């Protein structure tokens, strides 16, 4: 594997999930693969889970790891081709990515969308420029439109915890106070549409995701009906795709509560985290027996390790 930016970069999804679960049982079996290899993790935005789990995954594989919070510690990056750089930006992404490629065997990049210009965000300009100019394999640590390491960890979690062969998986929109990217729900939908699950997306009217990511999913505005007898309920906020980046009020009742969970007594509740308590998800659900959010975050290590292992094997 040379690029990991979406489920479309994966040849065999169930083999990759199986690899992650094998690595979970035997984390240090492939330390030789990463010996004298360097992973550079470049963050243009904050992170807790992605940063630490990917570092740990690389260390488990014997790699050296460099982390650069380029938004705070690097030169101000220019992203536009042809820019006359007489303003605040100091270094063009062409040189920055090219130089980082000289120091690294694999690069990871996190860059969120601006949520102002949909075409620009969905063009994945920043991620694609890293791929073009760094000349080494690149793994997405969450881009403008997708979060594939999160989605792989989510699928690993579902595979590990399911008690029926084809579980009912529901992605349900949750309230938030500010516009959030569509990357996590886009990516989760894209992976679930290719997995052996019955997949339903529930959201208020106006929060339709881009259809490119939801082909094959059942989509409803009725949250109660969607979550009835679910095996997994994935809770996530996102801002509107059309009109882009907008948040409308009046949907506060979409927060998942224990009362709603009575309809899905066997459901495991997932969230990618970070989560705003008692806004997106109630304390009672997060602290209750149906929540698997910490377990899910733990699986980020094995998802990242499975991807890095495939990248190291292809070097």
Residue 41 Cβ, how far from ligand CP at the closest point, in Å? Answer: 11
Alpha carbons 233 and 170: distance in angstroms, whole number = 5
Of 193 and 273, nearer to ligand CP (C-beta) is 273
Output 121 or 154, the one with its CB closest to ligand CP.
Answer: 154
Q: Which residues bind ligand CP (CB under 6 A)?
A: 47-51, 142, 150, 272-274
Taking the complex as a whole, the smallest distance from the CB of residue 197 to ligand CP amounts, in Å, to 20
CB-based contact 39:308 (threshold 8 Å): yes
Residue 239: CB minimum distance to ligand CP, A: 16
- What is the distance between the alpha carbons of residues 73 and 110, in angstroms, rounded to a whole number? 15
Least separation in angstroms between residue 49's CB and ligand CP is 4
Name the minimum Å distance from CB 51 to ligand CP. 6
Q: Which CB sits closer to ligand CP, 57 or 272?
A: 272
Rounded distance between C-alpha atoms, residue 112 and residue 126, angstroms: 9
Specify the residue, 79 or 273, whose C-beta has the smaller distance to ligand CP.
273
**Nearest distance, CB of residue 195 and ligand CP, angstroms:** 19
Q: Which residues pair with 173 in a beta bridge?
A: 236
Check: CB of residue 274 under 8 Å from CB of residue 283.
Answer: no
Q: Tokens representing 263?
A: 């309809």
Nearer to ligand CP, 78 or 280 (CB): 280
In the bound state with ligand CP, the residue whose beta carbon lies nearer, of 101 and 181, is 181
What is the chain's alpha carbon radius of gyration, rounded to the nearest angstrom? 19
What is the C-alpha to C-alpha distance for residues 73 and 196, in angstroms, rounded to an integer? 43
Nearest residue to ligand CP, by Cβ distance, number only = 50
Nearer to ligand CP, 233 or 272 (CB): 272
CB of 48 to ligand CP, least distance (A): 4
**Closer CB to ligand CP, 201 or 304, in the complex:** 304
Report the nearest approach of ligand CP to the CB of residue 271 (Å).
Answer: 9
């Amino acid at each position: 594997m040379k690029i990991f930016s979406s489920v479309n970069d994966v040849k065999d999804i169930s083999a990759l999930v199986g690899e992650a679960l094998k690595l979970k049982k035997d984390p240090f079996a492939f330390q030789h693969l990463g010996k004298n290899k360097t992973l550079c993790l470049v963050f243009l935005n904050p992170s807790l889970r992605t940063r630490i789990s990917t570092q740990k995954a690389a260390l488990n594989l014997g790699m050296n790891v460099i982390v650069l919070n380029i938004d705070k510690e690097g030169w101000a990056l220019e992203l536009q081709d042809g820019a006359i750089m007489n303003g605040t930006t100091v270094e063009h992404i062409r040189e920055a990515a090219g130089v980082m490629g000289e120091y690294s065997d694999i690069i990871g990049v996190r860059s969120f969308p601006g949520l102002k210009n949909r075409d620009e965000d969905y063009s994945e300009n920043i991620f694609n420029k890293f791929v073009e100019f760094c000349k080494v394999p690149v793994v997405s640590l969450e881009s403008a439109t997708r979060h594939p390491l999160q989605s792989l960890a989510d699928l690993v979690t579902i595979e590990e915890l399911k008690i029926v062969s084809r579980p009912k998986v529901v992605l349900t929109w949750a309230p938030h106070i500010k516009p959030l990217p569509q990357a996590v729900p886009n990516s989760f939908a894209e992976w679930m549409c290719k997995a052996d699950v019955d997949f339903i997306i529930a959201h208020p009217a106006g929060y339709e995701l881009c259809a490119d990511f939801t082909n094959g999913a059942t989509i409803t505005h009725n949250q109660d009906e969607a979550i009835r007898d679910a095996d997994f309920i994935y809770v996530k906020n996102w801002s509107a795709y059309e009109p882009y980046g907008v948040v409308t009020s009046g949907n506060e009742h979409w927060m998942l509560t224990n009362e709603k969970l009575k309809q899905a007594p066997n459901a495991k509740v997932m969230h990618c985290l970070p989560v705003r308590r008692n806004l997106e998800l109630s304390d009672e659900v997060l602290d209750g027996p149906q929540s698997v959010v910490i377990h899910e975050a733990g699986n980020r290590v094995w998802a990242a390790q499975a991807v890095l292992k495939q990248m190291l094997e292809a070097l």
